[in-house]
């Protein structure tokens, strides 16, 4: 490998981390409330509302069932609208975020479902409102599980970010594609793959450690 | 005495997949301020549903639950939340927040009531002192034993200075020794703070130890209600008898034999009835089983006796006991 490629890989690592970080952040900003909404409006929960639950659930399911590669292409006009261009690292953050939102929402929902019903009953018996119960009882109790879920989500986003190379995104995925696949540079291909694997492992491990530290049970 | 709760014809029916289940049938009872009121029944009798109608965690299907003359069913969600500050509850599974410290757990009801931070911590510490756990304020619940967890739950329940404390099988997950300690604590709180306590349990010993009044729930119905002493010394309903008297495993040793149960309350437990019987009538009885229990410091006892075979003799013995003021009833095997 020559210096040029090593430079490119270094830049690629940075871009991948950027994409993963911002896409994860934005997807949680939207996905967390969405997951809470899915949880709270489902049957027998605090804010049971069949209509809201059905509509939100349907949108999430549709978004989730789209293959990410298709979503990338479908979202090109939207991406242009938001960031002004459809290629590059910044542009990739848009479809990554959109693609991760439904996954985050479902993950959050399932973490919240794990909270013991007794704790919710205790909150109710103390005169807590549904919103208070969610913010001060349910979410704090679910933190370890939410962290565990976050590790999985971030690793997924990282994997997706590699795919973005196909439509002109940056990052390690694009390098693997351009040098490794189109130019048959096997060493570049394997280096990027190894780097991606290492990054996923670090994310997963950090998530697990944080969740364990938080879990007081 | 002021009535804290007044229940009138309370019924609760669950509908599930088109099937109906009547958890509570037409229950009426009153609870007065300052008393420790026990609600006892077998599991599935409906007692947990009943206690949940008292803070409207369960809505009633028909009938009314009045708390200080206010019908809980008529309250708006906001009013109900306010009323719930005066009705605390503790649970079998403690239901503490695992991710928060003991102190922060106890602070919760105060936070909900909007008490400012410093006052909140002071009150919470005070409550922890009452239950004897002030040293554990900075510990997470996972590090506590079952009895300690229930103490924290009690501190939390007291924090909002409620009028009544509902205990839903609060000691059922604890061993007998710890159960005794928790009951003593509840009794102390009842006396010192004049706090009304309503205890749901399936254990006779809990009612015996601290309750003033008891309601027996059987199959969703109120089988019997009254002072613990009356109900325990003279249970009238089948459900009450089943709870108060241990089952009788004995059969008469011969065909003409007859078994009776004599029950004596505290005023009679010091007299030697059996010796008197033999001395005065010359008839002999065989004691098959006997036990006594202490209810609020007074001894209550019952005996299963086998009578002589001769019918005349049997009448003489029964007459003797009845004349001495004991309650006598015939028993069958496995009653």
d(CA A17, CA A23): 10
| Sequence ranges of the domains in chain A | 3-214
| A121 neighbourhood in chain B, CB within 8 Å | 57, 91, 95
- Per-residue pLDDT, averaged over B220-236, amounts to 88
Distances (CA, A) of B45 to A194, B39, B218: 63, 11, 5
Residue ranges of chain B that CATH labels 3.30.70.260: 245-330
- Per-residue pLDDT, averaged over A93-116, amounts to 95
Residue B333 confidence class, pLDDT cut points 50, 70, 90: low
Instruction: Please give the share of chain B, as a percent, with pLDDT higher than 90.
Output: 59
Is the pLDDT score of A217 beyond 70?
no
**Identity of the residue in A127, A140, A144 whose CB atom sits nearest the CB atom of B84:** A127
Test B81 with A122 for CB contact under 8 angstroms.
no
Helices (H) and strands (E) counted in chain A, each on its own, are 10, 0
CB A42 within 8 A of CB A36: no
Q: What does DSSP assign to residue A184? A: -
Say which CATH superfamily domain A3-214 falls into.
Answer: MetI-like (1.10.3720.10)
**Identity of the residue in A125, A132, A217 whose CB atom sits nearest the CB atom of B84:** A125
Instruction: Please give the share of chain B, as a percent, with pLDDT higher than 70.
Output: 97
Tens of pLDDT, residues B81-128: 999 999 999 999 999 999 999 999 999 999 999 999 999 999 999 999
Task: Kindly give, in sequence order, each residue whose CB lies less than 8 Å from that of residue B90, ignoring residues fewer than 6 positions away.
Answer: B150, B153, B154, B157, B165, B166, B167, B168, B170
CATH number listed for the domain at residues B245-330: 3.30.70.260
Q: How many CB atoms lie within 10 A of CB B21?
A: 11
Residue ranges of chain B that CATH labels 3.40.50.300: 3-239
Please, which residues 126-145 of chain A have a Cβ atom closer than 8 Å to chain B?
126-129, 132, 136-137, 140-141, 143-144
Tens of pLDDT, residues B135-186: 999 999 999 999 999 999 999 999 999 999 999 999 998 999 999 999 999 9
CATH number listed for the domain at residues B3-239: 3.40.50.300
CB pairs under 8 A between A and B: 65
Task: Kindly give, in sequence order, each residue whose CB lies less than 8 Å from that of residue B240, ignoring residues fewer than 6 positions away.
Answer: B216, B223, B224, B231
Q: Which residues pair with B292 in a beta bridge?
A: B301
pLDDT at B272: 82
Interface test with A, best of B97, B136, B139, B161 (most A CBs within 10 A): B97
Please, which residues 40-99 of chain A have a Cβ atom closer than 8 Å to chain B?
none
Q: What is the ipTM of this complex?
A: 0.83
Least confident of A101-110, A138-147, B291-300: B291-300
- Per-residue pLDDT, averaged over B43-61, amounts to 91
Test B142 with A137 for CB contact under 8 angstroms.
no
Test A216 with B85 for CB contact under 8 angstroms.
no
Going by their DSSP bridges, the two strands B62-67 and B70-71 should be labelled as antiparallel
Tens of pLDDT, residues A43-54: 989 999 999 999
Tens of pLDDT, residues A67-102: 888 888 899 999 999 988 888 888 899 999 999 999
Tens of pLDDT, residues B277-329: 888 888 888 888 888 777 766 777 788 888 888 888 888 888 888 888 888 88
């Amino acid at each position: 490998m020559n210096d040029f490629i090593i430079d490119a890989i270094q830049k690629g690592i940075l871009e991948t981390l950027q994409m993963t970080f911002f896409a994860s952040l934005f997807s949680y900003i939207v996905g967390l409330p969405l997951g809470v909404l899915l949880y709270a409006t489902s049957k027998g929960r605090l804010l049971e509302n069949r209509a809201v639950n059905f509509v939100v659930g349907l949108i999430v399911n549709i978004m989730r069932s789209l293959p990410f590669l298709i979503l990338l292409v479908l979202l090109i006009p939207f991406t242009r609208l938001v960031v002004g261009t459809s290629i590059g690292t910044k542009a990739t953050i848009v479809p990554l975020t959109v693609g991760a939102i439904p996954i985050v929402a479902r993950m959050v929902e399932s973490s919240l479902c794990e909270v013991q019903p007794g704790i919710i009953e205790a909150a109710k018996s103390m005169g807590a409102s549904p919103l208070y119960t969610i913010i001060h009882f349910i979410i704090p109790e679910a933190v370890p599980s939410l962290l565990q879920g976050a590790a999985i989500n971030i690793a997924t986003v990282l994997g997706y970010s590699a795919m973005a190379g196909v439509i002109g995104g940056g990052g390690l995925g694009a390098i693997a594609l351009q040098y490794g696949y189109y130019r048959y540079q096997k060493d570049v291909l394997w280096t990027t793959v190894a780097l991606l694997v290492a990054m996923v492992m670090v994310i997963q491990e950090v998530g697990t450690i944080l969740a364990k530290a938080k879990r007081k049970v | 005495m002021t009535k804290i709760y007044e229940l009138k014809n309370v019924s609760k029916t669950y509908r599930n997949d088109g099937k109906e289940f009547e958890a509570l049938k037409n229950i009426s009872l009153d609870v007065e301020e300052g008393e420790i009121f026990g609600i006892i029944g077998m599991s599935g009798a409906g007692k947990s549903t009943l206690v949940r109608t008292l803070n409207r965690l369960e809505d009633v299907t028909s009938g009314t639950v009045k708390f200080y003359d206010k019908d809980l069913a008529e309250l708006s969600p906001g009013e109900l939340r306010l009323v719930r500050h005066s009705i605390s509850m503790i649970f079998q599974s403690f239901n503490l927040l695992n991710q928060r410290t003991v102190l922060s757990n106890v602070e919760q009801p105060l936070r909900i009531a909007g008490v400012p931070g410093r006052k909140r911590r002071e009150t919470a510490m005070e409550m922890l002192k009452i239950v004897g756990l002030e040293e554990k304020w900075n510990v997470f619940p996972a590090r506590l034993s079952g009895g300690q967890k229930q103490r924290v739950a009690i501190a939390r329940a007291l924090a909002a200075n409620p009028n009544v404390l509902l205990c839903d099988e609060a000691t059922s997950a604890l061993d007998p020794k710890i159960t005794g300690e928790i009951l003593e604590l509840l009794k102390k709180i009842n006396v010192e703070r004049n706090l009304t306590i309503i205890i749901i349990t399936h254990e006779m010993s809990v009612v015996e130890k601290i309750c003033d009044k008891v309601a027996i729930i059987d199959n969703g119905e109120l089988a019997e209600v009254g002072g613990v002493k009356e109900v325990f010394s003279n249970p009238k309903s089948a459900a009450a008898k089943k709870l108060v008297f241990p089952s009788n495993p004995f059969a008469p040793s011969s065909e003409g034999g007859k078994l009776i149960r004599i029950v004596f309350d505290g005023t009679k437990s010091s007299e030697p009835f059996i010796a008197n019987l033999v001395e005065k009538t010359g008839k002999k009885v065989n004691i098959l089983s006997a036990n006594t229990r202490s209810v609020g410091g007074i001894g209550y006892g019952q005996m299963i006796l086998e009578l002589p075979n001769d019918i005349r003799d049997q009448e003489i013995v029964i007459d003797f006991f009845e004349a001495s003021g004991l309650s006598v009833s015939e028993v069958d095997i496995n009653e």
